[in-house]
Amino acid sequence: MVACAAVEGSLDLLTGLDGVDIIQAGDIKSGNASSQALSKYLGWHGIPSRIKTIADKGAPTAKLLLTEAKAAGASFLVMGAYTHSPLRELILGGVTQHMIGHADLPIIMAH
């Protein structure tokens, strides 16, 4: 739900844009907010959106998200910041950690 908090906190920045691209990497686990629900939520606030689902394979998720954001011409990203156990982060890394260290566009995060 931290992604929802990030979007809610960014509504003032999103209002008035020509459109928002929602990039979903892989499948969403049951019980979590869906891309479709986010698109409807943005629509209620007068913010048009497009959903793009990408396969979460072949490259680190963060790299895939950054590539898609650039391809869409994004000027900034809005995302939730998640953490895993320190051991898992050390071995596998993490999307949030990669974004903070490698993103070349502004990111609005909520944790």
Q: What's the domain range around 63?
A: 2-110
pLDDT at 40: 93
Which stretches in the chain have pLDDT values below 70?
1-2, 29-32, 58, 81-93
* Residue 45, both tokens: 């606030």
Q: How many domains does the chain have?
A: 1
* Residue 67, both tokens: 């590539």
DSSP notation for 76-96 = -EEEE-----HHHHHHH--HH
pTM for this prediction: 0.77
pLDDT at 26: 74
DSSP notation for 19-72 = -EEEEEESPPPTTSPPHHHHHHHHHHTT--EEEEEE---SS-HHHHHHHHHHHT
Check which CATH number belongs to the domain holding 41 and give it.
3.40.50.620
